[in-house]
Amino acid sequence: MKEETTLIDPRAGNVSASGVPKVALCPGSHDAEKGKPRQTNPLAEAGTRIHAALEVGNIDALDDDEEIKLAVKAAELRDELINDFYHMAPTLAGVEINHQREKRLRGLGGTVSGQFDGLVVDGKRALIYDFKFGYLDPIDATHNLQMRCLAVLVAENYESVNEITAAIIQPRIRPELSVVRYHAADLTAARAELEKILNGAYTPGAPRRPGPKQCLYCKAKADCPEAAALTESLTEVDAAVIPLERLPELLDTCATAEKIIKAIRSKAKEVMAADPDAVPGFMLRAGAKVSEIANPQKLFNRMNERHSILPHEFVQICDVPKGKLKDLLKTASGLKGKALETELESLLHGVVKKSQKAASIAKAK
């Protein structure tokens, strides 16, 4: 996990729309995260690149085929959404679309702000959408507090609007589109709910309530006493006699603990890399060296010369990563996009062995 800092905070130190779901579950997380660097990872960085390409309408600027594919799909879903919003194809009907992208709105006396990916305003109606490029469970717009907050901000900043459609575009998972519609009464109720959540987050000494959802992306989880206490509570469980009725509670605790443990280890490695004696009783042990055959062709030549190993025998012990195979095919053929995918699938037809992974535990809906 990399860490990235920004010199200017567009949120001005206040809760953002994307942070509302977290503070709703853990009011004290807003204060706990202050001064903590923003964390990122390869998946998040890819999402940022795709967002940027969609914002300026330049998908061709992306280098990665998978990112291009996702961006194209997201753009198609966005256009479908806007067409449905107008109940016709705007380009054919000659309708001029008031389409804004990546604009930050502030509201409720400046106590909250949110940046939408796209906003379309049509008189008293508005459509707001947000792209999600993660692999986790699908997000339901109906119960999503980020989209509810954005809807409230749109209503406050566009006084003529009294009906807002909020949509989540998630091209990696199904449903790819999740939509909710807010009427005037819904927006009033949403505003009251948002005010209650913000009041809780801004209350001095707001309680911290760790859990799998709120701790997932929390920047303070590595040094949060409440999260640490939750993790420590697992040591009190007798592994030989686990009551069935406690399994739901314990599974939630495990999900949170796994994230806390990972964050703590990452923090410790960072500290000890700068100062080997920073953590009494622990040391930073060098990682094991991993050997990799860098020149398979030269290895085969030697085995063929010395032991008469034949090509088909050598190939039987080689693994072919699908990603590298795709890169090789792209370079050799010059194919891109769908044509590349089609040719790759044609080459792999009948030569791929599929296996079933072990079952995993997931939270029931």
Judge whether residue 29 has pLDDT over 90: yes
Model confidence at 94, in pLDDT bands (50, 70, 90)?
low
How far apart, in Å, are the Cα atoms of 223 and each of 11, 155, 180, 234, 296?
A: 23, 38, 37, 18, 46
Q: What is the pLDDT of residues 111-164, one digit of tens each?
A: 999 999 999 999 899 999 999 998 878 899 999 999 999 999 999 999 999 999
- Mean pLDDT in the chain? 89
**Cβ within 8 Å of residue 307, ≥6 positions away:** none
The DSSP secondary structure of 210-240, one letter per residue, reads --HHHHHT-TTGGG-HHHHHHHHGGGGS-TT
Q: What is the pLDDT of residues 274-301, one digit of tens each?
A: 999 999 999 999 888 888 898 999 999 9
Model confidence at 43, in pLDDT bands (50, 70, 90)?
confident
Average pLDDT value for residue range 177-197: 97
Could you tell me the two tokens for 141? Answer: 């717009």
State yes or no: cis peptide before 42, omega within 30 of 0: no
Judge whether residue 71 has pLDDT over 50: yes
Q: What is the pLDDT of residues 232-279, one digit of tens each?
A: 888 888 888 898 999 998 998 998 899 888 888 888 998 999 999 999
Model confidence at 87, in pLDDT bands (50, 70, 90)?
confident
Judge whether residue 192 has pLDDT over 80: yes
Check residue 13 and give left, alpha or beta (phi > 0: left; psi -120 to 50: alpha).
left
How far apart, in Å, are the Cα atoms of 27 and each of 31, 229, 293?
A: 8, 17, 52
- Just give the CATH number of 2-202: 3.90.320.10
Average pLDDT value for residue range 34-41: 83
**Cβ within 8 Å of residue 299, ≥6 positions away:** 293
**The residue type at 140:** D
Q: What is the pLDDT of residue 195?
A: 97
Looking at residue 14, what DSSP letter applies?
S
CA angle 189, 191, 197 (to 5 degrees): 105
pTM: 0.74
Domain boundaries, the chain: 2-202, 212-274, 295-319
Contacts 24+ apart (CB under 8 A), 321-326: 322/348, 326/65
What percentage of the chain carries pLDDT values higher than 70? 95
Q: What is the pLDDT of residue 365?
A: 67
Model confidence at 341, in pLDDT bands (50, 70, 90)?
confident
